[in-house]
Amino acid sequence: MQEITRDQLLRKAKELLQNGTVDRVMGWKKGEFDYDLTPAVFKTEGDLSEFVYSDFCGANFSKYLVSETRADGKVLVFLKPCDTYSFNQLLTEHRFDREKVYAVGIPCDGMLDASKIRAAAGDFTTVTAHGDKLIVKTLFDGEVEADRNAFLPDRCVNCKSKKHVCYDELLGTDGEVLDSHRFDEVEKLESMTADERFAFWQGELSRCIRCNACRDVCPACTCEKCVFDNPKSGVENKAAADSFEEKMFHIIRAFHVAGRCTDCGECSRVCPQHIPLHPLNRKFIKDINTFYGAYQAGEEVGTRAPLTNYSKTDIEPKDAAERGKTHA
Amino acid sequence: MPLNENGEYRPLIVAFCCNWCSYAGADLAGNNRLSYPADVKIIRVPCSCRVNPTFVLRAFQRGADGVILCGCHPGDCHYTSGNYYTRRRMALLFSMLDYLGIEKERTRVEWVSAAEGAKFASTMNDFCKTVAALGESKRLEDLRCKK
Ligand code: SF4
Ligand code: SF4
Ligand code: FES
């Protein structure tokens, strides 16, 4: 169950609107169902009647600030701990004006993954949390009680930090940077043979429909003109015509965010094909940690990304693939 | 499948060589009549760091079986620091390719100076042999590019 309730967020939003600290509020609106909430901007206190908050508010708001801060006035944004890393990374890259944002940190107890619930309980309409228990109202089987922890998305199971690295104000209590198992999956893949790895990725990536959602949602992908929109790139927006294009797309996508990925997990969350994209990003994070020393994008503002930096004693590429595995 | 006179596979190798050291090294190998397989297709680049990861992927797409980058020795880059960036970029890219199942033996970075004609020839001989042993690379190949 989340420590902070809708009422607390609403009260804070109204207070900041009233005293003129902010002019707009970023929040969530109900979608077709309780679990498909949509990020929304509220301009007046009246609008806020549509404001919702639940275990399905997983969207990382940081990237929205790039376009949201173009308008005049200040915007209120609620940030989960993991979102604050992306927030910092965007500041490092000068993607929005810090002065135009009022950031309120909110604690997070892990969000819920609607597809996991659906897989276990069937189609459902609403979910209510009671402590660690969930009451899932299904379409056909009435109410089902379930253990909340079983329905956390992978990114929350392996959450890297419950600590906010940046905020103007904090609601509730701050947590700690966690000792997560986020590289377990990467290590499992690394221990396979090249043939097995290829078979795994071929199976996953060939399902890609090139909707570009993973790129669009990524707080590290904020270029105005993206290489994938260039018809001359050979990998522009189109469904994969053959096996090469999807691999090319995924390697380039992951490479472009190498050293800048904040491991927020949004790419995997939005993929309509449920392709596990985080093991690609995390491979780069893990390699960077192994080769060039521990580095997490977004931990601080103003750090130099590993790929825009070098040392005279860097590892040679021929040793890299091996060392990437053994020094795990 | 192209075979040599001993019936072994002749791999297609793309070698990106920087203008200031490695390309001159290749030249020296030629001047000294040091032989290396004709299967190595050299592409001259101004500096090793000109090689965008896409070039490497593109080479595999168009049917290369192995890709090698050659540049000045670290510290000797004509543009001071280009090859230091190359080193990081390619360490990560090649490790990622290996992770996706494109064997790490198919990719290599080697530092070859303008005076190292012999090193250039032996590097290419060795790389060709390694890649030949792995056979054709199909994993990043684009069927439309097949002749
Ligand atoms: S690549 Fe994925 S995990 Fe990394 S910052 Fe982008 S959306 Fe988040
Ligand atoms: S979100 Fe999924 S299906 Fe869409 S482009 Fe990304 S990997 Fe492919
Ligand atoms: S000029 Fe040779 S590596 Fe930069």
Separation in Å, CA B1 to CA A243, B9, B138: 21, 7, 13
Q: Are residues A11 and A57 in the same domain?
A: yes
Q: What is the rounded distance in angstroms from the CA atom of residue A257 to the CA atom of residue A221?
A: 7
**Residue B107 and residue A321 in contact, taking contact as beta carbons nearer than 8 Å:** no
**Residue A25 and residue A102 in contact, taking contact as beta carbons nearer than 8 Å:** no
Under the banding of pLDDT at 50, 70 and 90, the label for residue A328 is: very low
- The per-residue pLDDT for A101 is 98
A263 lines ligand 1 (CB under 6 A): yes
Q: Are residues A146 and A212 in the same domain?
A: no
Picking from B89, B99, B107, the nearest residue to A197 by CB comes out as B99
- H helix intervals, B62-141: 82-99, 117-134
Separation in Å, CA A246 to CA A103, A263, B3, B52, B118: 37, 22, 31, 18, 40
Q: Are residues A133 and A173 in the same domain?
A: no
**In sequence order, what are the residues at sequence separation of 6 or more whose Cβ sits closer than 8 angstroms to the Cβ of residue A70?**
none
Residue B3 has pLDDT above 90, yes or no: no
The per-residue b/e assignment along A93-108, b for 16 or more CB within 10 angstroms, e otherwise, is bebbeeebbbbbbbbb
Tokens coding A301: 């503002």
What CATH class has B13-140? Answer: alpha beta
Chain A to chain B, count of Cβ pairs less than 8 Å apart? 115
User: Of A202, A287, A310, which to mutate for an interface test with B (greatest number of B Cβ within 10 Å)?
Assistant: A310
Measure A84 CA to ligand 1 centroid, in angstroms: 13
Q: Are residues A162 and A310 in the same domain?
A: no
Q: Are residues A325 and A203 in the same domain?
A: yes
Q: Are residues A131 and A48 in the same domain?
A: no
Query: Pocket around ligand 2: residues whose beta carbon is below 6 Å from it?
Result: A 208-214, 270-273, 275, 277
Is B100–A252 a contact, with Cβ atoms under 8 angstroms apart? Answer: no
- The per-residue pLDDT for A192 is 94
Total-model pTM: 0.93
Q: Are residues A227 and A325 in the same domain?
A: yes
With CA atoms as reference, the chain B residue closest to A318 would be B108
**Residue B16 and residue B67 in contact, taking contact as beta carbons nearer than 8 Å:** yes
Q: Are residues A252 and A280 in the same domain?
A: yes
Tokens coding A127: 């979910």
Report the range of poorest mean pLDDT among A90-104, B4-18, B60-74: B4-18
Q: What is the pLDDT of residues A166-185, one digit of tens each?
A: 999 999 889 999 888 899 99
Amino acid at A269: R
Q: Are residues A72 and A135 in the same domain?
A: no
What is the domain range of residue A133? 121-151
Q: What is the rounded distance in angstroms from the CA atom of residue B59 to the CA atom of residue B51?
A: 11
The angle subtended at Cα B96 by Cα A251 and Cα A199, nearest 5°, is 80
Residue A326 has pLDDT above 60, yes or no: no
Measure A271 CA to ligand 2 centroid, in angstroms: 5
Q: Whose CA is nearest to atom 1 of ligand 1?
A: A261
Under the banding of pLDDT at 50, 70 and 90, the label for residue A238 is: low
Q: Mapping DSSP to helix (H, G, I), strand (E, B) and coil, where does residue A174 land?
A: coil
